[in-house]
Chain A
């Protein structure tokens, strides 16, 4: 079955760019039919959808984050990535990658990675 795993720095300084990668195993991003997504969860709070990318490179971002977000895909490595620029403490969260269908539902999810924004 498909599994996803996030990786990247756990600590980012304010004003810098947060960069995370999601590695997909057990299935190919290139096979199509799914949207590869990023979702975050602020500590002790609810979920916020960040955006997604299709294997072709088409992207869609949450309008509230659009100016700072870039999602890219590397089909040769079966990975997709998130970059969030000009981060502040408000971007401290657990970041999840997930496979989306339609693309309004997410299954499966990665285990998540905590990113703390602090100097």
Chain B
């Protein structure tokens, strides 16, 4: 069982906007930055969002992150077929003294 909680699946049609939630606690999301990773099928995870809402260079502005209290969200607008992937949230946990990950959300583009 993951420390950060994500829905196991999400879906949308091309062009739609989808959001993926990530729920934690005061010791992780509540007091530290949240990061999001995209894992395309058969590949390594790739940093998508850092420090809650910052995009690395090369990541389209269709991807955005937000945080409120002990929860965070990843939003993908203008959904495209190539966005079909697993998405993971992550944060440092002050109580466990480790980086903790969510269980991942499999995004399907219908």
Contacts and interface: CB of A to CB of B under 8 A. Distances in A.
A109 interface: yes
Interface residues of B, number: 26
B46 A109 contact: yes
A63 interface: yes
Interface stretch (A23-31, A42-50, A82-90): A42-50
Contacts of A34: none
Contacts of B44: 96, 109-112
A96 B45 contact: yes
B98 A47 contact: no
Contacts of B46: 107-109
B97 A104 contact: no
B85 interface: no
Nearest to B47: A107
Interface string A82-108: 000000000000001000000011111
A108 B46 CA distance: 7
Contacts of B97: 63
B41 interface: no
Given A46-B88, A63-B96, A96-B45, A105 B50 contact: yes
Contacts of A106: 35, 37, 45, 47
A104 B31 CA distance: 13
Interface size class of A (residues with CB under 8 A): 10 to 19
Contact of A46 (B35, B43, B50, B102): B102
Contacts of B33: 104-105
A17 B62 CA distance: 44
A12 B103 CA distance: 26
Interface string A37-60: 000000001111100000000000
A63 B88 contact: no
Interface of B: 2, 32-33, 35, 37, 43-47, 50-51, 56, 88, 90-92, 96-104
Closest 4 CB pairs of A and B: A107-B47, A109-B44, A104-B92, A49-B99
